[in-house]
Structure formats: C-alpha cells, structure tokens
C-alpha cells in the first residue's frame, strides 16, 4: 500500500489522511479518512457534540490533492493558495469513513486548481474548489 508519509510532509496531528484508495496522477485521487474520537480537533469542536470542523474537511481535500502530483512532495511542499468555493452540506462525526475525491482543474505556472468532494456512505458532505501552489524545491 502507498505510504502516505512518503508523499506528504504533514505529520500527526496534522496528517489527515489514512489511506489513498485510488491514484492516477494528474487525473484523479480518492483518499480516505476515518474520523475517530481521538482526533484532536474534536476535543473542543465540540466537547458535548464532536463534529469535524468544515475547514478540516477542506484541509483533507487539499492533502488528498497533493497526490495528484506524480512526484513526492516531501522536499517541495504544496500550499493552499486560495479557497474559491466551499460548501458544507452535512456534518462528519466520529466513526464516519470519509471518502475524499479530487480532480485537477486548470493551472498556470506554479498554480493549479483542484475540485474535490467529501462523501460518507455515498452521502455528499462537502464540495470545494481549491487553488494549490507548488513551493520551491528545498535544497
């Protein structure tokens, strides 16, 4: 199985993907995140009713979008440059198995758009259009 940590520089508690299920660089990526009570962002959001903050869903999609790149990003991170659109249609709770799918959009120079959606059991929770910027390679 694909080692996520070999592609992404993110580490716990901010590595938000568990598995990459499908990957066709430049075409499509499907990744998975299982939400658990142990996820640190659920401690305060909210103590009595844990649900995944919308911005974390967007971050999950951005991390999944990193796998659209063929090359590992350990030394050449990708940054979120713009959120063009984000819609949160239903909340994600502990126990939810989130399917994160992303497709690339148009790009120019270091920038490329990506469109993604988060589903749980086929139910659409979130859609987002993001702009990602490839960083400079670190020596």
Among 6, 70, 109, 137, binds other proteins (CB under 8 A): 109
CB of 31 to other proteins, least distance (A): 25
CB of 74 to other proteins, least distance (A): 23
Cα distance between residue 60 and residue 82, in whole Å: 15
Specify the residue, 21 or 81, whose C-beta has the smaller distance to other proteins. 81
Cα distance between residue 13 and residue 26, in whole Å: 27
| Cα-based distances in Å from 119 to 31, 52, 60, 64, 123 | 11, 13, 12, 13, 5
Tell me the chain's radius of gyration from C-alpha atoms: 14
Show which residues are catalytic.
45
3-state secondary structure of 58: helix
From 49-57, 71-79, 88-96, 100-108, give the range in contact with other proteins by CB under 8 A.
100-108
With 0-12 / 13-18 / 19 or more C-beta atoms within 10 angstroms meaning exposed / middle / buried, residue 12 is exposed
Among 15, 81, 86, 90, binds other proteins (CB under 8 A): 81
Confirm or reject binding of residue 108 to other proteins (CB under 8 A): yes
Confirm or reject binding of residue 79 to other proteins (CB under 8 A): no
Confirm or reject binding of residue 86 to other proteins (CB under 8 A): no
Please give the residue ranges that form the binding site for other proteins (CB under 8 A): 81-82, 106-111, 113, 131, 133
């Amino acid at each position: 199985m694909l080692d996520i940590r070999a592609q992404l520089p993110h580490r716990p508690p901010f590595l938000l993907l568990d598995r990459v299920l499908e990957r066709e660089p430049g075409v499509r990526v499907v990744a998975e995140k299982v939400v658990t009570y142990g996820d640190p962002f659920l401690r305060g959001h909210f103590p009595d009713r844990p649900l995944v903050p919308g911005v974390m869903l967007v971050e999950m999609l951005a991390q999944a979008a990193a796998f659209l790149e063929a090359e590992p990003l350990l030394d050449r991170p990708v940054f979120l440059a713009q959120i063009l659109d984000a819609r949160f249609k239903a909340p994600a709770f502990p126990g939810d198995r989130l399917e994160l799918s992303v497709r690339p959009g148009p790009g120019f120079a270091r920038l490329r758009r990506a469109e993604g959606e988060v589903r749980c059991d086929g139910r659409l929770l979130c859609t987002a259009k993001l702009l990602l910027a490839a960083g400079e390679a670190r020596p």
